[in-house]
Amino acid sequence: MFIQPTVNEGATRVLISGPPNSFKTTSLLTWPRPIHIISYPGEKGWETIPIGKEDVIPYVWQVADATTLTGTSVVNEVERLTLEILAGKRGPVTTLAGDGLHKLYDWYYKKARFEVEGLSIDEEKKDIRAYGNPAGGAYRGLLDYLTRVLQFSVPYVVMTVWEDPERDDPKDKSKDAPTHVFPALPGKIAKRIVGEFSATVYAEVPPVADVKGNLAGTWQLRPGGKVWGVGVKAPLEIARTLPPKIPQDFTVLQKLLKGKE
């Protein structure tokens, strides 16, 4: 169904990339509530999510016997839970948060790798096919999941992902090949995923606290320095006014993108 937007909604779909311990998960709590937070299987750090609040609903993966897990079973469970949340079967939802998208990709890879196991090709070709491309494999599986989530009518979606250096020229295999930071996903998807969201920001914290003992995290909005895997979609007159960095607060980002600051 097509719609005709009548107002500037700002950033309704946001990806936060950054290294571990850069306040990515903590910053999810600045989004409008009720917020449902899926800690993707294998993701750590969910302890920063408050427990027992009616408007913050966390989902944390636990399993009694890890040896029984398969990529297919985990992917199916994640997709089922996600669709139940989006459909309102888990209660009212204003924001869906997915924490640790890089971990979810690993499960799509394991699923795709199992599916090619019986093919009469060598192991390296099986690995390549499982990693996939826009037509199949883990690449296609993750993008299909994102498409379903990002196009759903839930007001806000936010996801987190680790960061990783990517070669500027993938064909340059030299030890000193120039690199820049993008979301920690394999191959072309690391760069292409930036365009799937309204805004992709880079989370960082200073190496030392201020005089009051506080660590004030920031989001980088524009490519610069070593970080290229960021970007914000906004009308040109607003995009021109965006600062390089802002506090890790969704309300600040929204005001800027709506032209209110």
Single pTM value for the model: 0.94
CA-CA distance, 87 to 79, in Å (whole number)?
A: 12
**DSSP one-letter code for 161:** E
pLDDT one-digit tens code per residue, 5-25:
877 888 999 999 999 999 999
pLDDT one-digit tens code per residue, 175-213:
899 999 999 999 889 999 999 999 999 999 987 655 455
The angle formed by the CA atoms of residues 128, 185 and 77, to the nearest 5 degrees, is: 85
> Contact at 8 Å (CB) between 58 and 51?
yes
Q: Which tokens belong to 67?
A: 């040896």
> Contact at 8 Å (CB) between 187 and 223?
no
- Note down pLDDT in tens along the chain; length 261 residues: 787 787 788 899 999 999 999 999 999 999 999 999 999 999 988 888 999 999 999 999 988 777 788 999 999 999 999 999 999 999 999 999 999 999 999 999 999 999 998 888 998 888 888 988 777 899 999 999 999 999 999 999 999 999 999 999 888 989 899 999 999 999 889 999 999 999 999 999 987 655 455 667 999 999 999 999 999 999 999 999 999 999 999 999 999 999 865
